[in-house]
Amino acid sequence: MLEIIYQDEYLVAINKPSGLLVHRSMIDRHETEFALQLVRDQIGQYVYPVHRLDKPTSGVLLFALSAEAAKAMSEIFQARATKKEYLAIVRGYIDEHELIDYPLKEQLDKMTDKKVRKDKGAQEAVTEYFRLGRVEFPYPVSRYPVARYSLVRVVPRTGRKHQIRRHMKHVMHPIVGDTKHGRGEHNQLFREKFSCHRLLLHAYALTFEHPVSGETLTLRAGLDEVFSRIIDVAGWSEIRY
């Protein structure tokens, strides 16, 4: 059973686990479970996706319960009239605050994007982050005698594919557990020391104006057991975000 964090007659939101696809994809043809179908079966009615989260990212995932609500919510997302907030654990001691304004080339998949233009220029991409905490673990990694990490609150201002993961890599502080854009030695350390086999990126809050009532909603999703345990081990339990 998925955790439902909000539901009314127009919308339903869940706390998506890390590792769960939003919907069926040719890229992951071996997968048999998807958030869309699981939510549909759980609440007993059809649901419409209005945005997405990467498969390894956990957190707030919103669906509409009618075609009309889906159209209205999709327009809200396209107009950038939402506020998305993420928690991430990144490699190293990152700066206290930065607005990363770094255009990104569209990432294409060989199977699903065969007909898409390959010569498109880089697209505007802006991500803001705020450092919440730092920690040093007494474990050697790479050429260093200790391992340092930072907890950050991340607010993407645009919505490019893998934007947060790519931007954190760009500033040399990749997200722990990122097998595509991260650092293998740090991912391995977290697997061995903390039994962490997931990307440490969590969409903990989504704020938007309800498409029917006009009410401003902030939907929040709690951390899973793995992410919470690492927060505790790092001494970040009292941090408010």
CA separation for the pair 194, 235 (Å, rounded): 14
CA separation for the pair 157, 171 (Å, rounded): 17
Residue from 178, 226, 223, 181 nearest 202 by CA: 223
User: What is the Cα 126 distance to its own chain's centre?
Assistant: 15
Looking at residue 27, the DSSP 8-state letter turns out to be G
Which position has the token pair 């919510």? 73
For the chain, helix, strand, coil in percent to 5 are 20, 30, 45
Residues labelled catalytic: 54
Strand bridging mode 97-101 / 126-137? antiparallel
